[in-house]
Amino acid sequence: MGPLVVLVVTLCSLTGVKHDMTVLEREAVFQTGAGSETSEVEARRGEVVCGYDFHNSPLDFTRFLSAYKTMGFQGTALGKAIEVAKKMRQWRDPDDPEVRCTIFLGYTSNMVSSGCRELIRYLVERKYVDVLVTTAGGVEEDFIKCLQPTHILSQPPKGDNSGDTLRSLGINRIGNLMIENANYCQFEDWLMPILDDVYKEQIDNQNTVMTPSKLIDRLGREIDDPRSIYYHASKNEIPVFSPALTDGSLGDMLYFHTFRCGEGDAESGITLDIVRDVRKLNSIAVKSKATGMIILGGGVVKHHICNANLMRNGADFAVFINTGQAFDGSDSGADPDEAVSWGKLKGESRGGQFVKVCCDATIAFPLLVAGAFCDRV
C-alpha cells in the first residue's frame, strides 16, 4: 500500500467515512490510469537507478565510470557526457572513413591555472582535439607554469589570507591557488624579447600579418617545453584562438611593449588582426563534415565556439561543463536547448546529441577524459 493510499485510509478512519475503495476509485484518486496512459509512463522509464557496487574487488575503473549513467542527478549527466564525447571520437564520414568529427575544446583561464592543464595538454599531445579556444589567461598561465609552478594556497599557522595581506606579500589568489608576482615578472622577462622580434618583423615587412592565433603558435615554438599545452599545439598544428587575448597579463605586456616602440605613440606596437582569426575559426566549422564541442566554463570562450558552429547550422555534439545558470542569462552561449534555438547546436530531431554537466570542471573533466579519451581504461 503506497503512502497516499495510507493517508486516504487514515483520513477516512479518523472521520468515520467508509474506506472500501474500488479499483476505479483508487485510479480516480491516484490517476494510475491504464492503456495509452500506461504506455506513456513506460515510454518515460529509463535505466534503473543504481550506483557502483564496491563489493567487487579489485576496483574496476571502467565499470565505475560506466555506473555514472545510472547514478542520477549530475552523475547521470556526467555519464551521458562521457558517452557523447566517445561518439565525437568514433564518428566517421560514411562516404570517407578517414574524415573524422572536428572537436573544439574551449576552456577558461582557471582551467589552466588548475591541474586541468595537464589533461588539456594530454588531449592536444595525442591529437584527440582539433581546435582550442581560450582566454588570455588560458594562454599565459601555461607559459608561466613552464617558468615557475603554481601552488595550492595554504593557511599559515598564524596569520590570515585576506586580500590585503596577500597583496602586501605579492601573492595573487585564484580560488584556493596562489601565483606570486615574481612569476609574472619572469614571464615578462621571457616574453618581451619575443615581442621585440615580432614587432621588428612587422616593421621590416609591411605585409607581415600577425593574428592572435599566430602569436600563440609563435610562443608555443619559443617556449620549447613539452610540459606546455601550446608547445604541443604548435608541434601538432592545432590552432589556438583567443578572441580576447588582450584581457590578461598578455594584454598588459602588449600594452607595456608599445612604450618600447615609438615612445608610447598610440600607433606604435604590434598589430594583431582579429578578423582573420574569426574567419579562420568559422571556416574550420563550416568546412567540417561533423563537429563536437567540449567547453569548460562560459564567457567569451563558450560563445565563440558556439557562434562558429552557428555558421554551419549547428554542432552535432556538445558537452558543456559549468555552473552557470540560464535563468538570468549567466550561462554564456546558452544551455544546450537554448543553443538549439539559435542554431548553434543541432536539435535532437536533426540528430544532435548534447548534455550539460552542472559541476566544478576540476571534478568532472578528469572523469570525462578518463572515460572518453583514455584508451587504457
Q: What is the pLDDT of residues 308-341, one digit of tens each?
A: 999 999 999 999 999 998 888 877 656 899 999 9
Residue given cell 617558468 in the structure block: 147
The phi, psi pair for 295, rounded to 5°, reads: -130, 120
Query: Is 274 part of any domain?
Result: yes
Same domain? 35 vs 122: no
With vertex at residue 13, the alpha carbon angle to CA 7 and CA 15, rounded to the nearest 5 degrees, is 105
Residue given cell 569548460 in the structure block: 296
The Cα–Cα gap between 357 and 250 comes to 31
Give the list of residues 6+ apart from residue 111 with CB closer than 8 angstroms, or none: 117, 120, 138, 296, 297, 361, 362, 365
CATH number at residue 91: 3.40.910.10
Query: Is 60 part of any domain?
Result: no
Residue given cell 583561464 in the structure block: 109
> From first to last of its 377 residues, what are the pLDDT tens digits of the chain?
555 545 545 555 555 555 556 655 666 566 655 566 789 999 999 999 999 999 977 899 999 999 999 999 999 999 999 999 999 999 999 999 999 999 999 999 999 999 999 999 999 999 999 999 999 999 999 999 999 999 999 988 877 999 999 999 999 999 999 999 999 999 999 999 999 999 999 999 987 899 999 999 999 999 999 999 999 999 999 999 999 999 999 999 999 999 988 765 656 789 999 999 999 999 999 999 999 999 999 999 999 999 999 999 999 999 999 999 888 887 765 689 999 999 999 999 999 999 999 999 999 999 999 999 998 64
Same domain? 152 vs 207: yes
Same domain? 25 vs 108: no
* Enzyme catalytic residues: 344
Domain count, the chain: 2
Q: Quick one: how far is CA 265 from the chain centroid? A: 39
Same domain? 226 vs 304: yes
Tell which residue, 339, 336, 344, 317, has the closest CA to residue 87.
317
The Cα–Cα gap between 276 and 280 comes to 6
The Cα–Cα gap between 231 and 236 comes to 9
Same domain? 245 vs 328: yes
Query: Is 55 part of any domain?
Result: no
The C-alpha cell of 80 is what?
551521458
The Cα–Cα gap between 113 and 111 comes to 5
Query: Is 297 part of any domain?
Result: yes
Q: Give the orientation angle of helix 73-90 with respect to helix 361-372, to 10 degrees.
A: 40
Same domain? 336 vs 236: yes
Query: Is 182 part of any domain?
Result: yes
Query: Is 256 part of any domain?
Result: yes
Range of the domain at 28: 3-43
Give the list of residues 6+ apart from residue 330 with CB closer than 8 angstroms, or none: 298, 324
Q: What is the rounded radius of gyration, in angstroms, for the C-alpha atoms of the chain?
A: 27
Q: For residues 362 and 323, is the Cβ–Cβ distance under 8 A?
A: no
State pTM to two decimals.
Answer: 0.91
User: Exposed (0-12), middle (13-18) or buried (19+): which is 95, by Cβ within 10 Å?
Assistant: exposed
Q: Which CA distances in Å does 295 have to 134, 304, 319, 336, 347?
A: 10, 11, 6, 12, 18
